[in-house]
Amino acid sequence: MTETLEIEEQFDWLKEVLRKEDMTTFRDVFLDWHLYEEAQFYLSLDENERQKIYHFLSPYEMANLFDVIEEEHEDVKEFLAEMRPSYAAEMLTEMYTDNAVDILNQLDKATVARFLSTMKSEKVEDIKELLHYEDKTAGSIMTTDYVAIVANQTVKSALTLLKKKALTAEIIYYIYVIREDETLVGVISLRDLIVSDDEMMIADIMNERVISVRVGDDQEDVAKMIRDYDFLAVPVIDYEDCLLGIITVDDIIDVIDDEAASDYSGLAGVDVEAVAETPLKASSKRLPWLITLLFLGMSTATLISHYEVMINEASILAVFISLITGTAGNAGTQSLAVAVRRLAISDDKDAGFVRLILNEVLTGVITGLVTGAVICVVIGLWKNNFVLGLVIGIAMLCAITVANLAGSLIPMLMEKLGFDPAVASGPFITTLSDLTSVLIYFNIASLFMSFFV
C-alpha cells in the first residue's frame, strides 16, 4: 500500500512538471523509470497532457513505452489518432514487429495502409508478412526480430553479428542456426556462444535437436510447449522447415492471460474483460445470454407446472425445490470448472476417457451420498418426517450425480465437436441441472405420495 501511494505521489508530481513544460526535469525523471511505470503514467494522462509528452519524447522512446502497453487496451486507437501521422508511423517502425502488428490489427484498412506508406520499407515487409496470419496461431504472435547465424562460421564472427543485431532483436538468449535457404538446422544459447573458443565453428557447438512449432499451430499448443520445456522463446517454421520467426515468453504470458480470461468469460456467461464499458454497452452484451437462459429457465417452470397436482396434494414438496436445484447446479458448475481446466492442461485429450467419466460418476455418488444423508437427517428432525427426509436425500444424491456427469461430459463433447469447451458456461449447466433435478425430484416423490397426503 505504501509503495502504491509513493508511485501515485510521483505521478502527481511529474504531472505538475509536465504542466509547467519543464522538459529537462521531466526527461531526467521519466526516462529513469521502469518501462512499466512509464506506461502506467502515460495511461493516467488526459489528451492535453499526452500531447506534451509527444513533444518531450522521441518516437523511439515512445515505441519502448508502447511495447509494454497491452495491445488490446481500449484507447490504443485513440492514442494513435491524436499523434501526428508521421510521429505515429515512426513510433510503429521502432516497435518490435509483433507488437506493432498487434496494434495495426485493431485499425481499419485505410489507416493501416496510410501508416505503412510512410514507414521504412524493410519494416513494412516484415509487418505485411505477419498481418496475413490467422488469428490465435503461432504466426499471428511471432516476431521477426531475432538473431540467426549460419553453421559454417566461427564463434568470433557470430559474436560480431550478434552485437550488430542485439539492439533490434527482441531476445538474444537463443541464437538460431540456419542454412543459406533459411532452413532451421540448430540452436545455440548465448552462454555457449560466449564461453566457446573464438575459432570454433558454430556447427561444432550448436544443438541440432531444435524444438520448434509450425506457423499454423494453435497458440494454446505453443503456450503448453513453452511451459513444458521452460523456454524463453521457441522458433516458428513453415512446412518446409524454413525459419520464419520466434515466439517469446512475454507473448506467451499474454496468450495464457487471454485464454484464462476467455475461459472465465465462458464460465460466467459474460465478457470479464469489458470492465470499462458504459452501462448501456455492457447491458447490450449481457442481455442476449440472459434472455437465452431465461427461455431455458421457462422450460424448468413448465416442468414444475406439470406436477402442479402433486404439489397441491403435498405442498411441503414445493419448499425444497430450490434446495435441490441449487445444490445440483453448484455441483455441476464445480465439475464443469474441473473439466475445462483438465482439457486446457491435458496434452492427450483422448487418454483415459472412460476412466475420467467413471471418476466423475463416483465423485458425484460420494458427494451425493454425503449431502443426501446430511439433508435427510436435518429434514427428518426439522419436519419430524424422516420419509420426507429420505425423499429429499435420494433426490439430492441422484441430482448431484447427474449434474456432476453433465458438467464433465458437455465440455468434453464440445471439445470433440471443435468448439471452445468454456462456452459450456456455468449458467447453462446450472439451468440444465435445474431441469434434470426437478424431473428427478418429483419422480422420486411420486413413489412416496402416500406418506404426504
For residue 393, which of 401, 428, 422, 286 has the smallest C-alpha distance? 401
Specify if 270 maps to a domain: no
Q: How confident is the model at residue 190 (pLDDT cuts 50, 70, 90)?
A: very high
For residue 101, the domain's CATH number is 1.25.60.10
Is 241 in a helix, a strand, or coil?
coil
In tens, the pLDDT along 364-374 reads 899 999 999 99
> Are residues 97 and 14 part of one domain?
yes
Residues 112 and 245 in one domain: no
Provide the pLDDT for residue 217. Answer: 93
For residues 309 and 338, membership in a common domain is answered with yes
Strands 243-248 and 213-214 turn out to be unpaired
Are 319 and 434 members of one domain? yes
pLDDT at 282: 67
| Domain contains 185 | yes
- Give dist(CA 315, CA 452) in Å, integer: 9
Establish if 7 belongs to a structural domain.
yes
Please check whether residues 285 and 353 belong to one and the same domain. yes
- If asked whether residues 421 and 283 sit together in one domain, one would say yes
Query: Which one of 133, 161, 189 terminates a domain?
Result: 133
Alpha helix (H) ranges present in 59-136?
59-66, 76-82, 85-94, 97-104, 109-118, 121-131
Judge if 64 and 102 occupy the same domain.
Answer: yes
Residue 161 sits in the same domain as residue 189: yes
- Count of structural domains, the chain: 3
Handedness of CA 151, 154, 155, 159 (dihedral sign): negative
Q: How far is CA 1 from the centre of its chain?
A: 28
In a shared domain, residues 285 and 383: yes
Tell me the pairing of strands 148-150 and 174-178. parallel
d(CA 259, CA 74): 18
Of 109, 201, 79, 195, the closest CA to residue 151 belongs to 201
- 225 CB neighbour count, 10 Å cutoff: 19
Q: Please check whether residue 177 is in contact with residue 188, taking contact to mean a CB–CB distance below 8 angstroms.
A: yes
pLDDT at 32: 93
Cell of 47: 489528451
Question: What CATH number does the domain containing 194 carry?
Answer: 3.10.580.10
Same domain (yes/no): 182, 116: no
- CA angle, residues 317, 318, 323, in degrees to nearest 5: 95
- Grid cell for residue 372: 443426501
Q: What is the DSSP string of 56-70?
A: HS-HHHHHHHHTSS-
Task: Locate 380 and state its grid cell.
Answer: 427428518
Q: Which residues contact 446 (CB under 8 A, 6 or more apart)?
A: 310
Residue 49 CA to residue 51 CA, distance in Å, equals 5
Q: What is the pLDDT of residue 426?
A: 62
Spatial separation of the C-alpha atoms in residues 226 and 229, rounded to whole Å = 5
Give one DSSP letter per residue of 245-290, joined into a string: EEEEHHHHHHHHHHHHHHHHHHHHTS-TT--S--HHHHHHHHHHHH
- 236 and 155 share one domain: yes
* Domain end position, chosen among 133, 162, 194: 133
Lowest mean pLDDT among 236-245, 351-360, 368-377: 351-360
Predicted pLDDT at 2: 45
Does 274 map to a domain?
no
Q: What's the CA gap between 160 and 141, in Å, rounded?
A: 29
Report residue 125 as a C-alpha cell.
515487409
Answer yes or no: do 72 and 28 share one domain. yes
The CATH number covering residue 385 comes to 1.10.357.20
In this prediction, residue 178 has a pLDDT band, given cuts at 50, 70 and 90, of very high
At 100-123, the pLDDT tens digits run 988 888 888 888 888 888 888 778
For residues 424 and 351, the answer to whether their CB atoms sit within 8 Å is no
Q: Which of 85-89, 176-180, 339-343 has the lowest mean pLDDT?
A: 339-343
The reported pLDDT for the residue numbered 412 is: 78
**264: in domain:** no
Apex 333 CA angle, 332 and 339, nearest 5: 90
Residue 139 lies in a domain: no
Question: Does the global pTM surpass 0.75?
Answer: no
Domain boundary among 224, 257, 290: 257
Q: Is residue 272 a part of any domain in this protein?
A: no
Residue 312, domain extent: 279-451
What are the pLDDT digits (tens) for 55-74?
A: 999 999 999 999 888 655 66
Model confidence over 256-306: pLDDT tens digits? 777 666 655 555 555 555 555 567 776 776 677 677 777 777 888 888 888
Question: What is the pLDDT, as a whole number, of residue 1?
Answer: 43
Asked if residue 267 is part of any domain, the answer here is no
In whole numbers, what is the pLDDT of the chain averaged over residues? Answer: 85
Concatenating the DSSP letter of every residue in 126-185 gives: HHHHHHTSPTTBHHHH-BS---EEETTSBHHHHHHHHHHHTTT-S--SEEEEE-TT-BEE
